[in-house]
Amino acid sequence: MNEYRILFTGTMDAGKTTAVSTLLENAPITTEVRADHVLLDPTGAPIGMDYGDLALDNGDRLRLYGIPGQRRFDFMWKSLAETALGLVILVDNSRPDPLADLSIYLENFEGLIRDTACVIGIGRMQQHPQPDLDAFSDRMQDHGVVCPVLPTDVRDRQDVLTLVDLLLMQLESRGPARLAGAN
Amino acid sequence: MTPDTPSAAPSSPSIPAAPLERTFALRGLGLRDATVFKSMVKLLAGKTRDRWTCVDNPQADLLVVFGNEPVQAAAGQAAPRPGTQQVIRVEAAERGARADALVLPLRAEEVCAQLDRAGERLAATPPRSVPVTCRLQLTRWPSALLLGADPQYLRLATVLGTRPTTMDELAEKAGCPRSVCDAFAATMHGNGVGRWLIEPKIAEPAPAAGRLEDVPAGLLSRIRSRLSL
């Protein structure tokens, strides 16, 4: 049995847990707290990472991780990123500076984005239309990243599926040399 | 890599774009006039609509040709690019010169105007013949206006954002008709978001250890199946 990972990252309340939960269709989500690096959030609760998994038809598992992306949590995601298929970045457009938030994730996950696949979902755009998608695209260009960026309501399963679909499409587009004959 | 220049379909949405990188080649001009022309182009950088670079390549976006010198390739040279390549004629005397020609001695404002007109024609002319080996590269994620509400365009941009792709490959990977791919490519190129690479594909570097080379056959289709994608 092999395990593969898709990582969801973003600021607090960006919808990482909801996105994972939406994909799992009510399957249980586990929150793991690393005993060797216990950190506390502003309320004093331990910070962990959410994950849930899906069984594939050959017995392999697809694990979906919701992970904090700030650099102080890099001990959490560095090992996860090594064998990840790709990264979903969730940005909360109601925050004071969503573009700066995006920059942080593009910098922190630079290697993963370069080597695998990445898609960016912008949340709460209906209530907070600015910055718009083009501003995010400009910011991605500053970081040399060309990947899908689209409005996303993480409560809507179809929206989250679209993110994953585009992520898989990027992996498929890389061709057999990089995918070692996948599909 | 050399950008090539098929361009926007007439119905494409158009947005103010950053100056495009264009190339020009000289043919038949004397050494002095060629030097003057290239110097003027350099001095005009920032004033012209696009950024122009002189190349020794008959497939440049623009050919600057002296007199009635034929545009066809000389023996042993690559042929000029069919389709959208533009030509500016340079002629020796005002008397009898064509209205659209540059006249010697060269004047900077006339060179500037001719370059801008050539740039406008390049941007406005739909591609007639993009060689099948040309690959389109997205230079950035397209604006929402360019993508519109068409989910096919979202898929096409996603595939192209991964790596430069020929139109045939793009149609296959995105599962879209070739005609849609051509229209998409024209829109991206015409708005400065995509550029054509006319040089042959170079072997890609090996993937980073421990990552994608470990993806086994069938995994992605299994994931799609499990998520009902």
What is residue B21's three-state secondary structure? Answer: strand
User: Which segment, A29-43, B51-65, B165-179, B199-213, is predicted with the most confidence on average?
Assistant: B165-179
CA of B197 vs chain A CAs: smallest distance (Å): 17
Q: Does B30 touch chain A (CB under 8 A)?
A: no
Sign of the alpha-carbon torsion through B54, B55, B60, B66: positive
Residue B87 in contact with residue B65, Cβ under 8 Å? yes
Residue of A nearest to B15 (CA): A134
Residue B172 pLDDT more than 50?
Answer: yes
CA of A48 vs chain B CAs: smallest distance (Å): 24
Residue A91 pLDDT more than 90?
Answer: yes
Per-residue pLDDT band for B153 (boundaries 50, 70, 90) equals very high
Span A110-152, pLDDT tens digits: 988 998 999 999 999 999 999 999 999 999 999 999 999 999 9
Residue of B nearest to A111 (CA): B208
Domain that holds residue A38: 3-178
Position A84 in a domain: yes
Q: Cβ separation of A171 and B161 shorter than 8 Å?
A: no
pLDDT number for residue B197: 82
Q: Does B32 touch chain A (CB under 8 A)?
A: no
Here the tokens at position B129 are 């013949």
**Pick from B12-16, B139-143, B165-169: least confident:** B12-16
**How many interchain CB pairs under 8 A, A with B?**
136
Nearest to A182 among B155, B208, B220 (CB): B220
pLDDT number for residue A178: 44
Which chain B residues are Cβ-neighbours of A115 within 8 angstroms? 207-208, 211-212
Q: Which residue has the higher pLDDT, A73 or B52?
A: B52
Half-sphere exposure of A35 (CA within 13 A, CB side): 0
pLDDT number for residue B34: 93
Which chain B residues are Cβ-neighbours of A111 within 8 angstroms? 208
Q: Cβ separation of A148 and B158 shorter than 8 Å?
A: yes
Beta strands in B162-209 (DSSP E): 194-197
Position A24 in a domain: yes
Per-residue pLDDT band for B11 (boundaries 50, 70, 90) equals very low
Per-residue pLDDT band for A35 (boundaries 50, 70, 90) equals very low
Q: Which residue has the higher pLDDT, B81 or A129?
A: A129
Residue B213 pLDDT more than 60?
Answer: no
CA of B155 vs chain A CAs: smallest distance (Å): 7
**Pick from A6-10, A48-52, A70-74, A143-147: least confident:** A70-74
| Rounded Cα distance, A54 and B222, in Å | 11
Half-sphere exposure of A114 (CA within 13 A, CB side): 12
Which chain B residues are Cβ-neighbours of A142 within 8 angstroms? none
CA of A25 vs chain B CAs: smallest distance (Å): 10
pLDDT number for residue B124: 63
Residue A51 pLDDT more than 50?
Answer: yes
Position A53 in a domain: yes
> What does pLDDT average to over chain A?
84
Average pLDDT over residues A11-25: 87
Residue B2 pLDDT more than 50?
Answer: no
Nearest to A134 among B143, B173, B219 (CB): B143
Residue B209 pLDDT more than 60?
Answer: no
Residue of A nearest to B174 (CA): A169
Which chain A residues are Cβ-neighbours of B204 within 8 angstroms? 177-178
The percentage of residues in chain A with a pLDDT greater than 90, rounded to a whole number, is: 54
Span B104-149, pLDDT tens digits: 889 999 999 999 988 888 776 655 556 677 889 999 999 988 898 7
pLDDT number for residue A79: 73
Q: Count of domains in chain A?
A: 1
Residue B156 pLDDT more than 90?
Answer: yes
Which chain B residues are Cβ-neighbours of A149 within 8 angstroms? 141
Average pLDDT over residues B92-115: 82
Residue A81 pLDDT more than 50?
Answer: yes
Which chain A residues are Cβ-neighbours of B157 within 8 angstroms? 148
Residue A18 pLDDT more than 60?
Answer: yes
| Rounded Cα distance, B146 and B155, in Å | 13
pLDDT number for residue B72: 56
Sign of the alpha-carbon torsion through B143, B145, B146, B150: positive
ipTM: 0.86
For residue B130, the cross-strand partners are none
Per-residue pLDDT band for B218 (boundaries 50, 70, 90) equals confident
CATH number for the domain that contains residue A59 = 3.40.50.300
Q: Which residue has the higher pLDDT, B57 or A34?
A: B57
Position A97 in a domain: yes
Q: Does B98 touch chain A (CB under 8 A)?
A: no
pLDDT number for residue B109: 92
| Cβ within 8 Å of A, B 200-229 | 204, 207-208, 210-229
The percentage of residues in chain A with a pLDDT greater than 70, rounded to a whole number, is: 81
What is residue A72's three-state secondary structure? Answer: helix
Position A183 in a domain: no
Chain A interface, mutation test: which of B138, B201, B219, B225, most A Cβ atoms within 10 Å?
B219
Per-residue pLDDT band for A11 (boundaries 50, 70, 90) equals confident
pTM of the model: 0.68
Residue A48 in contact with residue A36, Cβ under 8 Å? no
Nearest to A169 among B158, B210, B213 (CB): B158
Span B23-43, pLDDT tens digits: 899 988 999 999 999 999 999
